[in-house]
Chains A and B, each alone.
Chain A
Amino acid sequence: MSIPLTHLLVFTTLLFLVGLYGVLTRRNAVGILISIEIMLNAVNINFVAFGSTLKTSPDLGQVFVIFIIVLAAATAAVGLAIVLAIYRNQKTIYMDEIDLLKW
Chain B
Amino acid sequence: MSFFGSLATVSFYAVLVGVLAVAILTVTTRNLFHAAIFLAFTLLGVALIYFFLHAEFLAGVQILLYVGAIMTLVIFAIMLTAKIGDPSMPQSNHQRLPAFVGLAILSFILIPAILKMPWKTEDAFQTTNAVQIGKALMGEFVFPFEVISLVLLVALIGAIVVSRSDQ
Nearest CB of A to B68, in Å: 11
In the bound complex, what is the Cα–Cα distance between A11 and B21 (angstroms)?
Answer: 11
Nearest CB of B to A79, in Å: 9
Q: Determine whether the beta carbon of B128 is less than 8 Å from that of A38.
A: no
* A17 in contact with B103 given A10-B111, A53-B121, A76-B74 (CB within 8 Å): yes
Q: Determine whether the beta carbon of B162 is less than 8 Å from that of A78.
A: yes
A96 proximal to B (CB < 8 A): yes
- Residues of B contacting A53 in the complex (Cβ-Cβ under 8 angstroms): 119, 121-122, 125-126
Q: List A residues 22-46 near B (Cβ within 8 Å).
A: 22, 24-28, 30-31, 33-35, 37-38, 41, 44-45
In the bound complex, what is the Cα–Cα distance between A34 and B121 (angstroms)?
Answer: 33
A80 proximal to B (CB < 8 A): yes
| Interface bits B117-143 vs A (CB < 8 Å: 1, else 0) | 101111001111000110111000100
B5 proximal to A (CB < 8 A): yes
Q: Determine whether the beta carbon of A19 is less than 8 Å from that of B23.
A: yes
Q: Which residue of A13, A59, A74 is within 8 Å of B136 (Cβ)?
A: A59
Q: Determine whether the beta carbon of B114 is less than 8 Å from that of A9.
A: yes
Q: Determine whether the beta carbon of A18 is less than 8 Å from that of B144.
A: no
Chain B contact surface mostly? helix
Chain A contact surface mostly? helix
Interface size class of B (residues with CB under 8 A): 35 or more
Q: Determine whether the beta carbon of A52 is less than 8 Å from that of B126.
A: yes
Q: Determine whether the beta carbon of B12 is less than 8 Å from that of A15.
A: no
**Listed residue (B55, B90, B95) with the most chain A CB atoms within 10 angstroms of its CB:** B55
In the bound complex, what is the Cα–Cα distance between A78 and B53 (angstroms)?
Answer: 31
In the bound complex, what is the Cα–Cα distance between A37 and B23 (angstroms)?
Answer: 11
Q: Determine whether the beta carbon of A74 is less than 8 Å from that of B155.
A: yes
Q: Determine whether the beta carbon of B58 is less than 8 Å from that of A74.
A: no
Q: Determine whether the beta carbon of B50 is less than 8 Å from that of A48.
A: yes
- Residues of B contacting A72 in the complex (Cβ-Cβ under 8 angstroms): 66, 70
- Write the chain B residue with the least CB distance to A20: B103
Q: Determine whether the beta carbon of A58 is less than 8 Å from that of B92.
A: no
